[in-house]
Amino acid sequence: MTDIEHPETFHGLPVFTLPVPAEDGPDPAALPETGSVAWRLDCAWEGPAFPGLWQHFLDMVDPADVRALLIGPWWPEEYSSFAPVAELVASDADRFPALHALFLADVVGEECEVSWLEMSDITSLIEAFPRLEELVVRGGGDAVPEEEKLQLRPVRHLALKSLRFESGGLPGHVVRAVAASELPALERLELWFGATWYGGDATVEDMRPVLSGNAFPRLRHLGLQNSEIQDEIAAAAASAPVVAQLESLSLAMGTLGDTGALALLDGQPLTHLTSLDLHHHYLTDPVMSRIREMCAREGVHVDLDAADYWDPEDDEPRYVAVSE
């Protein structure tokens, strides 16, 4: 998983991984204060199955004070579906009145490739936490059976401010469900589209409600990234009404080339942005120079780190940062 690591902080809190149960058990006094950390649950390869770890978590901390929760690997041995995990966590949602942040599938490549994660329909889980302000979902791809792929239905959620999907192959129906959701508080949206080989079949048309600016009136950061159609996305963003309301824009991690970058330069002004993220790109030096000059002139911070292992002199295909 290129560009994917375990976060050290989440929702402004340091991440603390709950020790797995031992025969003598961890000393509750040795654990951090419940509301002072983001709790990460990880079954590990020698730990208990998730139901046992979940009960252990409920026994060791006061769930009423938990502010942020990360679900790491939920299998002790063989990969398994996320569906029972989602059902179990949702069933105890009323015990977590202070939970404002949730990270589904904090898993890195050494544990499971992103496209191999056996996800599920996460709609009920989102609906179970009406006070949720931040949601990160990792996973999505074609390397799993149909019933274990990531699913989402349009939702109405009044508190959610930040939503990020990290995927090596984000299905178009998930993008359409996001665009059709009622999220009046949403300020940050980030979508990693991935590769068609791994099920990333979203199109620019799937994003039209977002690009129109009508879907999420409070949106201030938009990330449409890690895409094989990054040039098309950039061209759409060049005239998209939503850009005028943004403070930051990311078209990073994908196959952005001169065509898309020139469309951005020739499109609507970007001078109101505080930052423009184009890292992992395939731009020539002259186009990069034009972007740097524009950003330097207007005080826009820009990230123009190029894609690794790509030589414009070679006839090699472009690749996204995160796929398998």
Can you read off the two tokens belonging to residue 117? 């994660």
Residue 165 backbone phi and psi in degrees, to 5: -110, 115
Question: pLDDT per residue over 235-272, tens digit each?
Answer: 999 999 999 999 999 999 999 999 999 999 999 999 99
Q: Which residues contact 220 (CB under 8 A, 6 or more apart)?
A: 187, 188, 245, 246, 247, 248
Please tell me the predicted confidence (pLDDT) of residue 314. 67
* 266 CB neighbour count, 10 Å cutoff: 10
Are the beta carbons of 155 and 181 closer than 8 angstroms?
yes
Question: Rounded to whole angstroms, how far apart are CA atoms 249 and 237?
Answer: 9
User: Does residue 10 surpass a pLDDT of 60?
Assistant: yes
Confidence grade of residue 50 (pLDDT, cut at 50, 70, 90) = very high
What pLDDT is attached to residue 1?
42
State the pLDDT confidence band at 159, using cuts at 50, 70 and 90. Answer: very high
Angle at 170 between CA 77 and CA 189, to 5 degrees: 110
Cα–Cα nearest to 266, from 255, 258, 275: 258
